[in-house]
Amino acid sequence: MSGAEIIVQVLADEGVDVIFGYSGGAILPTYDAIFVHNRDNPTRQMPLIVPANEQGAGFMAAGYARASGKVGVCVVTSGPGATNTVTPVRDSLADSVPMIVICGQVPTAAIGTDGFQEAPVAALMGSVAKHIFLVTDPRRLEATMRTAFEIARTGRPGPVVIDVPKDVQNWTGPYLGKGTLPIPGYRKRLAAVDGNALAPAAAAGFLDLLAAAERPLVYVGGGAINGDAAAAVTEFASTFQVPVVTTLMGIGAIDTTAPLAMRMLGMHGAAFANYAVEDCDFLIALGARFDDRVAGVPARFAPKARAIAHFDIDASEINKVKRVDFHHVGPLRDALQALVREGKARGFRRDYSAWHAHCAELKSRHAMNYDRDSELIQPYYVIEEINRHTRGEAIISTGVGQHQMWAAQYFDFKGPRQWLTSGSMGTMGFGLPAAIGAQFAQPGRLVIDIDGDASIRMNLGELETVTTYDLPIKIVLLNNLGDGMVKQWQKLFFKGRLSASDKSLHKKDFVRAATADGFPYARRLDRKADVARVVEEFVNFKGPAFLEVMIDPDAGVYPMVGPGQSYDEMITGEHIHARTVPREIKAPDSSEMF
């Protein structure tokens, strides 16, 4: 086989069922091999989905991976093709998403000569990918491809980049059908982690901590989703009757409508979730990393917790931000199942009814709320109406900004891999291409992109990709005429100076843009009285649908915990009840992040 044919055959062997990418000179041999493979294997197709931009391809592969749990694949050309994928690669590393990016490269002999469409991919990607391979020996190409998949999907998942010079793609040699690279260090570390079962003595020690607690709380992060541990989280919480809060990335680890679910905590978490963290005396962190959006002031996070336990697949996360009293490094699902077995074997019983009543009171007294009497369309109302139809069953992707937080706060999610968002990187433009990838991963599911007018502009060209492949994706554009989250900060902390964030003078007609790209349903909603009727019509439309909603431009995201501040300084806004007299809103100091 040629090197290009070897690349494609390994993709097929690895179970890849869709490829996202944009062609170009240095990757043409591989694109031709994909064409021939699909022509000659009608029952084993790997459709090639062509975006408007390589960044879109990267986010489509990431959306596919997030919605399916499988490795997403992106194939692009050299130079600008490769550099356009830097952002989705970094985004996937930050959120632990398994992805393979295959880049064309100038011929081996030309590397370093500043040839046409050459970029130092290894240098660029080495700092933002889980691993990077530059294939200079074509005899190692097949093993490199398999090893890349192994690294991407094992341990803490992440993106792996393979830079393949054009002469390596054109080389001809034997296809062995087996073999990987010798990476003994990685495999040794991985085996140590994977084989690190929770010992009975350790399980007993954890249960002793749980028995001593009166107000235990589970704090779940994205690691529970990535580790396919959502069912184990639910079983653990149900067995021991412990309430659960989740991070932005942990949404879906437990059914948000379940009695034990306390929804999202953190900077824009529900007030009742944050108050539960304030009140708990035993915090159990599962696949979470105490990041700044959750534990803004680590020393004041969970201040009443007499003990903290931390379970993670990555040893570097233990004690990185917050010192803990108990920890276990290993597969989360196995550890939780071991705790359940040990608890049942010991006949563990603990009455947390008083704590449950307290949490129920928190949920009732400090519920999410907004100005329901406003004549303007409130974004929360729109999401509530969509949620009334989807009933927690839809896959929701988002861009980044206020709309992202509103979606996290007001949508229900019955299970994992239904919530797709750029968490750690906070990448605007993520929502639309991620929805496309998710629709290919879950073709029978309803996929909705909740986006903002500023965020969707970043990858607006992917509207055409939706209609080109006739995907029944629903796009909701919550238009507040600007960078809403930035404006909120400017109003709170910069005396209302809207520097570069007000887009009310922009002339973009999004509905006409969607119509021009072939959307059979595209309309603008600007009257509150029409919301219920139009939302029902929109959700039930059978093909691609685009809905622009002109929302209250001053609608804010509340609650809000400023960076570098603790939950007792939470701003709840005018419509969410605070349990203490709100303090004066103070700006973060000069050392704090956005």
Q: Which of the residues are catalytic?
A: 54, 116-117, 166, 485
Determine contact, residues 478/549, Cβ cutoff 8 Å.
yes
Instruction: Sort 354 into a burial class: Cβ within 10 Å, 0-12 / 13-18 / 19+.
Output: exposed
In 3D space, the residue among 593, 591, 555, 588 whose CA is nearest the CA of residue 573 turns out to be 555
For residue 102, what is the enclosing H or E element? strand 99-105
361 token code pair? 């009171």
For residue 60, what is the enclosing H or E element? helix 54-68
509 token code pair? 């007609």
Type of residue found at 33: A
For residue 476, what is the enclosing H or E element? strand 474-479
In 3D space, the residue among 555, 526, 547 whose CA is nearest the CA of residue 372 turns out to be 555
Instruction: Give the span between the Cα atoms of 148 and 539, in whole angstroms.
Output: 39
Instruction: Give the span between the Cα atoms of 491 and 374, in whole angstroms.
Output: 20
In the sheet where 307-312 sits, what is the strand order? 261-264, 244-246, 216-220, 282-286, 307-312, 326-329
267 token code pair? 């900077």
**Residue 241 φ/ψ, nearest 5 degrees:** 55, 50
Determine contact, residues 103/81, Cβ cutoff 8 Å.
yes
CB-facing half-sphere around the CA of 243: CA atoms within 13 A: 34
In 3D space, the residue among 87, 83, 126 whose CA is nearest the CA of residue 103 turns out to be 83
- Reduce the DSSP state of residue 151 to 3 states and report it: helix
